[in-house]
């Protein structure tokens, strides 16, 4: 029984192969693998997915400081509180207008707007 030889490639080597692919030196991952004698059908493709810049173009990358996450939660809570206060203020205004209408009718005032 033959022992399978395992080859480990350095990060620098992987980055070099990916960079050369992105620069157009090779027309495919398969060709780059052939040139460098890299075994495995999708080894170079995996490197491109992991290290390549082109695969990042369709992704959103968010960089934040540890305290920013808590700050975001606080700001969202503050927005909810302000939205609730605004809603309450609108309801108060509607109630006040209706109260004035009822009071004017009771007082016999026909033109509420003028009052």
pLDDT score recorded for residue 22: 86
pLDDT of 89 over the 90 cut: yes
Tokens of residue 51, six digits: 């290290």
- pTM value surpassing 0.75: no
How far is residue 55's CA from residue 48's CA, in Å, rounded to a whole number? Answer: 7
Q: Could you tell me if 115 and 109 are in contact, meaning their C-beta atoms sit under 8 angstroms apart?
A: yes
**Distance separating alpha carbons of residues 96 and 114, to the nearest angstrom:** 16
Mean pLDDT along residues 26-42: 87
Break the chain into its structural domains and give their ranges: 11-56
Residue 35 pLDDT level (bands cut at 50, 70, 90): very high
């Amino acid at each position: 029984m033959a022992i399978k030889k395992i080859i480990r490639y350095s990060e620098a080597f992987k980055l070099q192969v990916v960079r050369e692919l992105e620069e157009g030196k090779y027309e495919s991952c398969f060709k780059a693998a052939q040139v460098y004698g890299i075994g495995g059908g999708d080894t170079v493709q995996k490197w491109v997915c992991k290290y390549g810049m082109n695969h990042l173009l369709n992704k959103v990358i968010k960089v934040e400081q540890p305290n920013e996450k808590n700050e975001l939660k606080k700001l969202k809570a503050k927005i909810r509180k302000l939205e609730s206060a605004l809603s309450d203020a609108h309801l108060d205004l509607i109630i006040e207008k209706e109260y004035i209408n009822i009071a004017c009718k009771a007082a016999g005032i026909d033109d509420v707007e003028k009052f």
